[in-house]
Amino acid sequence: MVSLLSSRVPAPETPAPAPRRRGSIARSRRRLGIAYATPMAVLVAVFFVIPLGLMLWMSVNHWPLVGVSAPNGVENYDALTDPLFLRAVGFTVKYTLVTTVVLGVVAFGLALLVQHDRPGTGVVRTVFFLPSAVGLASTSLLFYGLFNTDSSALNHLVDFLGFGRVDWLGSGGSALGSTVGMITWRFAGFYMLILMTGLQSIDPALYEAARIDGATRWQILWRVTLPLLRPTLALAAVLSLTGSLLAFDQFFILTGGRHDTATVVIDIYREAFLSQDLGRAAAVSVATLAVLIVLNVAQLRLIRREGR
């Protein structure tokens, strides 16, 4: 009887964890997350938010390089109508368009060349990418030696071929072409890797289906490869446009801004350190930042829309 009754007694249920214990676990996780995020938040605040706020404040003050600052409203933004600044904007836009197109075409061609794994392809990829490991300032100094009229190795080669010496940096057009060539040499391998990654992500079955349908290589390129590569091309365009609009090192070293080769960033440098007016330099910087934000937001929206 006793054993029968005892067999009918239900087993005791495991008690649920107390609400306090759950709350303490959530709070500890929250504290841990805050602890992980705090160092990066401090870095962002110190190196981005505070300097950005200071730049905005400087743009509405007369702020000499040496001396006492004083509020002057939006007077510094008159620098945006200065003829020198407008010429710098025009040259920067021209340089950005030429560089983006030339660099994109060369990088895309290199990516098509090395996208497939064949014997020796790894070595070729490495050779194409190696210039990207050289700093831009170092590259500019190297090419300054090549472009120098008196001791130019390129001019010795041109002389040997019987064409006479070329003043590679003597005019706006030649300086622009020389600089675009240098930038293409420096960055083509980097953008090649980006585009190669996009090419390798395309399903080979799509190419096979296109060949079965009788498509030529040119038709496959235009109707299969490029449409599927649009998100990757948009990413490369974002990087190229941003870098070109902020060009400084190459023109500062190669031409010093002479022959109408001053970019927007060189104009900012002139306002800040030659004219010793940090307020006007900050105003131009604010305008440049606004343009970059608009362009990058538009391009990122294009990337997201193409990626859907």
pLDDT (tens digit per residue) in 30-74:
888 888 889 999 999 999 999 999 999 999 999 998 888 899 989
Number of domains in the chain: 1
- For residue 48, tell me if it sits in a domain: no
List the alpha helices (DSSP H) in the chain: 2-8, 19-44, 50-58, 83-114, 121-129, 136-147, 153-161, 172-200, 204-212, 217-220, 226-228, 230-245, 249-254, 264-269, 278-307
Residues 6 or more apart whose CB falls under 8 angstroms from that of 172 comprise 91, 259, 260, 261
CB 246 within 8 A of CB 228: no
The model's pLDDT over 144-179, given as tens digits with 9 standing for 90+, comes to 988 876 667 787 887 777 777 778 888 889 899 999
- For residue 239, tell me if it sits in a domain: yes
pTM: 0.83
How remote is the C-alpha of 12 from its chain's centroid?
64
Longest Cα–Cα distance in the chain? 119
What the block records as the tokens of 92 is 């920067």
Evaluate if residue 143 carries a pLDDT over 50. yes
The residue with greater pLDDT, 189 or 7, is 189
- For residue 277, tell me if it sits in a domain: yes
What the block records as the tokens of 173 is 């057009």
CB 190 within 8 A of CB 239: no
pLDDT at 88: 94
Evaluate if residue 5 carries a pLDDT over 50. no
pLDDT at 165: 75
- Tell me how far apart the alpha carbons of residues 84 and 241 are, in angstroms, rounded to a whole number: 22
Residues 6 or more apart whose CB falls under 8 angstroms from that of 179 comprise 95, 250, 251, 254, 255, 261
Beta bridge partners of 64: 277
Closest CA to 114 of 184, 188, 191, 196: 196
Evaluate if residue 77 carries a pLDDT over 60. yes
Helix axes 172-200, 121-129, angle to 10 degrees: 140
- For residue 27, tell me if it sits in a domain: no
CATH classification at residue 114:
1.10.3720.10
Closest CA to 306 of 232, 195, 197: 232
- For residue 42, tell me if it sits in a domain: no
The model's pLDDT over 174-205, given as tens digits with 9 standing for 90+, comes to 899 999 999 999 999 999 999 999 999 988 89
The model's pLDDT over 14-31, given as tens digits with 9 standing for 90+, comes to 555 555 666 677 788 888
pLDDT at 117: 83
Q: Which range of residues forms the domain containing residue 100? A: 75-307
Residues 6 or more apart whose CB falls under 8 angstroms from that of 308 comprise none
DSSP, collapsed to helix, strand or coil, labels residue 70 as strand
- For residue 303, tell me if it sits in a domain: yes
Evaluate if residue 87 carries a pLDDT over 50. yes
- For residue 67, tell me if it sits in a domain: no
- Tell me how far apart the alpha carbons of residues 286 and 55 are, in angstroms, rounded to a whole number: 7
pLDDT at 306: 60
Mean pLDDT of 268-275: 92
- For residue 24, tell me if it sits in a domain: no
The model's pLDDT over 104-116, given as tens digits with 9 standing for 90+, comes to 999 999 999 998 8
